[in-house]
Amino acid sequence: MQVTYWLEHAWLDPVVEPGVAVEVAGDGRISAVRTGVEAPPPGAVVLRGFTVPGLANAHSHAFHRALRATVQVGSGTFWTWRETMYQVASRLTPDSYHALARAVYAEMALAGITAVGEFHYLHHAPDGTPYDDPNAMGEALIAAAAEAGIRITLLDTAYLSSGFGAAPDRHQLRFSDGTAEAWAERCSALKERGHARIGAAVHSVRAVPARELGTVAAWAEARRAPLHVHLSEQTAENEGCLEAYGMTPTQLLAEHGVLGDRTTGVHNTHLTDGDIALIGSTATGTCMCPTTERDLADGIGPAVVLQRAGSPLSLGSDSHAVIDLFEEARAMELDERLRTRRRGHWTAAALLRAATADGHAALGWPEAGRIEAGAPADLATIALDSVRTAGAVPRLAAETAVFAATASDVRHVVVGGRAVVRDGVHALIPDVASALSTAVAALR
């Protein structure tokens, strides 16, 4: 059904325009964008506030949402946090994962996120036995996204080793297909559909031996699919890679054909100057996840120099300590301010671009993330009259969104021309909080 949305204020990169009419065709794509429309046209759906393209969460582990708060007790490192994560992972079934992911993706929709990149490695039963449908867990995630009303790129992940060729430990048995060829055979059975695209991932150089990397890269190349990889998240990973292969993780990935303009390195935290040059020269993307990186005490990645070198930036909520891409965007800037003691590394428009167009491109949706004819009609509207945003000058709405708003300020969300969130209420899952509570409680 054709529909017209009237946007009180809209971000038409790089400027804020008042009074924008967006016409949506029956296929859910924008057919026309008209500026200078001072009042809503007859029959138009009114979106008051500041409307931006739907946000892209480029890095998610949906089941980590069940860890919120429990992993904030005590102290430790990434490695101690990982033990708690393994316990939750061991309890998931296709049904319980579907229920949890459905609620998590609905939480994302409420936060203005219209597309998610799910870095998925919980493939099999806890003892490593494949389900009757070997892709039961991945299909559960695809179905969950549809029911929550958002798009998904399922980044089916190769995870074959507990570390640099060692066999998977008991926690990791369900992650492993044994070999990259077996991984490729299984995920080749996954089918794309209107709201879902299929990509690939190398969990890390720890978890995929060097001899297997080329198989994963070739699978993605043959399909022109996005390829993601956790890269240099931990110094221990760098040290182990140097010991095992005599080179950094970035150098190893480059040697085996993993880097490239459809590849995104997630975190890219502990890099050498040579690593940065390799990532930039190959146009490999960088997905920063600042709330997780600081929650796990990982460190601050060199996002500024990576972008200058040629690496496009995207954003993810990763472990879902919070689900708020406005927080991720401002955290990237504010963390850099702390490190350099200088302000203004990115404009608000540049940070919004990372959360929208560049995030969608990293997930294999290059046509999305902008308000223009031909793009999917994916929109998120932020209130400009909440206690956080009130008093904003409309022409500075982008700065208000990035540096003051939170996910709680999202009022309306449209995906493919269909209203998924209206007045802060999810249209498909009216009580998202209860759905989350029930799904998380089932895993305790």
- 123-180, pLDDT tens digit by residue? 999 999 999 999 999 999 999 999 999 999 999 999 999 999 999 999 999 999 999 9
- Give the pLDDT score at 27: 97
* Of 74-83, 165-174, 285-294, minimum mean pLDDT range: 74-83
Query: Can you state the angle between helices 432-441 and 94-110, rounded to 10 degrees?
Result: 150
- What does the alpha-carbon distance between residue 361 and residue 115 come to, in Å, rounded to a whole number? 11
Helix 94-110 vs helix 136-148: crossing angle, to nearest 10 = 30
Q: What is the pLDDT of residue 194?
A: 96
Predicted confidence (pLDDT) at residue 79 exceeds the cutoff of 80:
no
State the pLDDT at residue 154: 98
Q: State mean pLDDT over 262-267.
A: 98
Q: Report whether pLDDT(77) > 90.
A: no
Q: How far apart are the first and last CA of the chain?
A: 44
In single-letter form, the type of residue at position 287 comes to C
Cβ contacts of 375 within 8 Å, gap of 6 or more: 29, 30, 53, 367, 368, 369
Query: For 404-409, what is the mean pLDDT?
Result: 98
Task: Please tell me the pTM assigned to this model.
Answer: 0.97
Question: pLDDT exceeding 90 applies to what percent of the chain?
Answer: 94
| Per-residue pLDDT band at 80 (split at 50, 70, 90) | confident
| Average pLDDT score over residue span 176-185 | 98
- Helix/strand/coil for 134: coil
* Each residue's pLDDT tens digit, 335-374: 999 999 999 999 999 999 999 999 999 999 999 999 999 9
Mean pLDDT of 9-32: 98
Q: Mean pLDDT across the stretch 288-304?
A: 95
CA of 166: how far to CAs of 80, 126, 206, 242, 422, in Å?
Answer: 20, 19, 9, 16, 50
Work out the pLDDT band at 106, boundaries 50, 70, 90: very high
**Residue 72 has what pLDDT?**
83
CA dihedral 141, 144, 149, 154 (to 10 degrees): 0
State the pLDDT at residue 268: 98
Closest CA to 42 of 93, 69, 4: 4
pLDDT at 78: 78
Give the mean model confidence (pLDDT) for residues 59-68: 96
Whole-angstrom Cα distance, residue 360 to residue 368? 6
pLDDT in tens, 248-263: 999 999 999 999 999 9
How far is it, in rounded angstroms, from Cα 162 to Cα 206? Answer: 7
Mean pLDDT of 8-21: 97
The yes-or-no verdict on residue 100 having pLDDT over 90 is yes
Q: Give me the chain's average pLDDT, please.
A: 97
Residues classed as catalytic: 267, 318
The pLDDT of residue 81: 81
Beta strand pairing status for 15-24 and 418-422? Answer: unpaired
Residue 1 has a pLDDT of 74
Q: What is the pLDDT of residue 444?
A: 87
pLDDT at 92: 97
- Is 90 exceeded by the pLDDT of residue 384? yes
